[in-house]
A and B are shown apart, each in its own frame.
Chain A
Amino acid sequence: MSVIERLKTMATKSPWIYRINAGSCNGCDVEMATCALIPRYDVERLGCQYCGSPRHADIVLISGPLTRRVLDATLRVFDEIPDPKVTVAVGVCPISGGIFRESYAVLAPIDQYFPVDVNVPGCPPRPQAIIEGIAQAVQIWRERL
């Protein structure tokens, strides 16, 4: 394994996470906060860190069915995240719209607008499932580095 490959493997041990709430009901956001912040599901041991700025992020977690009002803002924030990046859609809303699927104001599925790499279904998904999703995202991220 060359030095560059080895360094890339080291780099994947530092995935920084950014959350985008695309009109979510906050249920998935609470689960995401639970993942990192309580001792039981400490994701900092994987090197993860929530960052406040999209410019610092590597893995972006999108929750919510993507309402019409937030579309432009969400796309702008998404473009602010430097490459290489991986997108994880958290919850069932990004896949199908979930309980909001009948609404005229909802644009789900969101993979029409964002290159979603990992889907974590659930309403809301369990913290273990979100951590599993992040772990899969790290695998994909390794290939893109």
Chain B
Amino acid sequence: MSSQIAILIAVLLFPGGLFALALGLGLKGADRRIAARLQGRVGPPLVQPFLDLVKLAFKRTMVPTTAHDLVFLGAPLIGVVSMLVAAALVPISGVYSPAPALGNLLVLIYLLLVPAVVLMLAGSSSSSPYGAIGFSREMALMMAYEAPLVLIVAAVAVRTGMAQGHWVTFSLTEIVEYQRTHGLFLLDPVMWPAVAAFGFFYPANLGIVPFDIPEAETEVLEGPLLEYSGPALGLFKIMSALKAVVVIGLDIALFMPLPLDGVPAFLGWVVEMVVLMVAGVTVLRISMGRMRIDQAFVFFLRWPLLLAAASLAVVVV
């Protein structure tokens, strides 16, 4: 019973739930403010994403008459719930490790797919032609970036598993523990291609320029989100804030968990989060234009896939 309560706390309070939401909104706010500063503007306050959420709560949700109500309103809920569970699955080195009953790395990969599927559901159920375009682009992009992700995760899992004497391990706790005692994968030349491939994966998963093709505001008017308003749109904002924490948290757990304990470990983790967000997302998005979907598709199946495959091949051989 107590383990169930512990899981519930992990999903709803820390490190999932409220904590992940606050951290995700903070990361989004920092992203917007630093982007504005880099462009020579003052920029919005750090709490702007939170203010946006409060505003959306006061607006009315409109459902198009031609939309499928149940899917249209259910999709954002599924997305938020999946990301809450995913946030509880990501270990924080020296602070938190997920209960084995909650799931392992494989569950996390499946949960990472859910937001993309939810956006596809949202786009197709809204009966808007822009939503339909967003749906097809989201599907193409997802297929392109999932392949490198699977290879990156396989490389890390096999690397850890072989070092421990069995073939492969899908426990994130074991992967973090191994790096705490044997050194970070970030400092291991064999894993460098995989680290670089993950660097391409997470902007695409978070849907930012140059990979924000499904939600491109200037082309397809935010695609799947076009018909959403009010609290339903707010749920999508919550989902993407949580997703930022999950994906960047996964990056940290796979390659760079700090070998510290207690409060320093936690602060170091937050600093890593912010650095990865600013370096991998903010700087990238203000310095690039948007790719076309065919360019992004070919790009992901060429470079990140090749890099991840290179790491996996060296690890296996």
Chain A interface residues (CB < 8 Å from chain B): 7-8, 10-16, 39, 42, 44-47, 51-53, 55-56, 58, 80, 82-84, 145
Contacts and interface: CB of A to CB of B under 8 A. Distances in A.
Given A13-B48, A13-B51, A39-B39, 8 more contacts: A11-B55, A12-B55, A44-B32, A44-B41, A44-B43, A45-B42, A52-B222, A55-B233
- The 8 A-B pairs with the shortest beta carbon distances in the complex, nearest first, are A52-B221, A14-B55, A42-B41, A55-B229, A11-B55, A52-B217, A39-B40, A45-B42
A42 B43 contact: yes
A43 B10 CA distance: 39
Interface string B31-56: 01000100111111100100110110
A14 B45 CA distance: 11
B226 interface: yes
Interface of B: 32, 36, 39-45, 48, 51-52, 54-55, 57-62, 217-218, 221-222, 225-230, 233
B42 A58 contact: no
B58 A82 contact: no
A51 B218 CA distance: 9
A53 B222 contact: yes
Given A14-B51, A45-B41, A47-B48, A82 B222 contact: no
Q: Which of B41, B48, B218 has the most CB of A within 10 A?
A: B41
Contacts of B62: 55, 80, 82
Q: Which of A8, A39, A55, A83 has the most CB of B within 10 A?
A: A55
Q: Which of A46, A51, A56, A145 has the most CB of B within 10 A?
A: A56
B227 A55 contact: yes
A89 B303 CA distance: 50
B58 A42 contact: no
Contact of B42 (A42, A51, A56): A42
Contacts of A16: 55
A39 B230 CA distance: 29
